[in-house]
Amino acid sequence: MLFFSKRCNIGLLLRGSYATIAHVIKAMSNTLQLGLVGLGTVGAGVYETLCRNHSLLEARAQISFAVKRVAVRNLSRPRDVEIDASMLTDDWRELVNDPTIDIIIELIGGVTEAYDLVLAALRAGKPVVTGNKALLAERGSELFKLSAEKGVPLYFEASCGGGIPIIQSLQNSLICNHVLSIAGIINGTSNYILSSMQDSATSFLDALLKAQELGFAEADPSFDVNGWDAAHKALILAMLAYGTPLDPSKIAVSGIERVEAVDFQFAKKLGYAIKLLVVIKRHEEIDALELRVQPSFVPLDHVLANVNGVFNAIAVNGDIVGETIFYGRGAGKNPTASAVIADVVMAMRECLQPGYHTGFNPYSKNMTVIDQADTVTPYYVRFRVKDCPGVIARLATILARHEIGISATSSLSNTVKSADGTTRNELVFQIHACKWGLLQASIDDASKEDCIDANPVVFRIEQFND
């Protein structure tokens, strides 16, 4: 006689989802079989940990499991991990189509092939564990919808914050909270670069080269420094926190490429640190989300200002719990592997409760994202100007014309040479809170002045008390 948990949905079983009766019998009596796709840095870390800590995991989860097959792109490539060649294949479809494999772990990266893989696995009724942030940010809405329709969970803890358990926390620990806002540092490479520039007064390029030497930055670091790695994670967090699908084209993204050593001098003088910050905020009065990624001035007395090196931190503000901080290593082989395996254990446990899973189910209507031009913060604006009479007054007049207030001005004694060989001074304006669009219009007007260089450096000044 087979007994099911009270949570088990018999109707779901009979409709032919992943939790067939035969599947449940196997899950409760035999060893669960895992299929791993991808044996790169993270994939190797997952495989090594599953092997090294196999007894510990089985004892804690109270479930017997084994890795049955591993799919890789190139069978002849040398590997840093020892693995029986008979376990390898270069066709992930063999894992999806194998009726004895219960759970698929997707770690190949990219979007197109990973999408085909996850889609096929969900349709085959196999729960999927992934750490693929680009996939979920760009195609997550479709995959989450299919996951809900099929009753087949898709787990993705490792997609945001590496080893930080932010996904499970949003889904479970903070389940009774309306999320008012999320602000965080969720790209370790950019945070290491900015920390190095702050601590060593070094240039962006020198800090980047050091990060590459230490293995914190890829040979092509553009995805990290241009803000899009953090943006993909922000989209996933926003979808999860607000239960709504989101269009990646709606998020406002800028990277750290234009941050210079002089900006850290001004920041220190004014009482701030500079961080690549993700900001997700719900504006209840208009039922819309503010969603942006950009270098920001963070007050030195806020915890995020003191998150340095490759560490990440995410501040979640809930209406019941208040502000909570999640801190840890945001990337790397072992932290990410830890998050993947936590999801694997969750998937194995929930194979025993087929009518219930904690994969993401969209539960809200589609929410709009506020146009960046309408978002409001104070700003730091660094102009490069000729040393000519009345330049400050000219800038003040232009800003006033757009009804933008100035809270302070500042300058340093150093001068710089522009591309045309002329000497320029660095002049900083602190701007009162105003719409981004108004500020941009005033900057466009200022660039028409012959004594003011075009394209000043602009950072938002974040406020965390609203």
Would you please indicate which residues are annotated as catalytic (active-site) residues? 233
Q: Are strands 311-318 and 457-461 parallel, antiparallel or unpaired?
A: unpaired
Please give the helix or strand (H or E) that residue 351 lies within, else none.
Answer: helix 333-351
Phi and psi at residue 19, to the nearest 5°: -90, 65
Residues of the chain by 3-state class (helix, strand, coil), percent to 5 = 40, 25, 35
With CA atoms as reference, report the closest residue to 190 among 179, 171, 201, 204.
Answer: 204
CB 410 within 8 A of CB 263: no
Q: Which of 22, 43, 54 lies closest to 88 in space, CA to CA?
A: 43
Distant-in-sequence, close-in-space partners of 6: CB < 8 Å, separation ≥ 6:
none
Strand, coil or helix: what is 13?
Answer: helix
Determine the Cα–Cα distance for residues 267 and 305; give it in Å rounded to an integer: 11
How many Cα neighbours within 13 Å face the side chain of 70? 24
Longest dimension (CA), the chain: 92
Q: How far apart are CA 280 and CA 240, in angstroms?
A: 12
Among residues 177, 134, 127, 133, the alpha carbon closest in space to that of 155 is found at: 127
- Residues near 3 by beta carbon (within 8 Å), at least 6 away in sequence: none
Quick one: which of 362, 366, 358, 355 has its CA closest to 165? 358
Structure tokens at 185: 């540092």
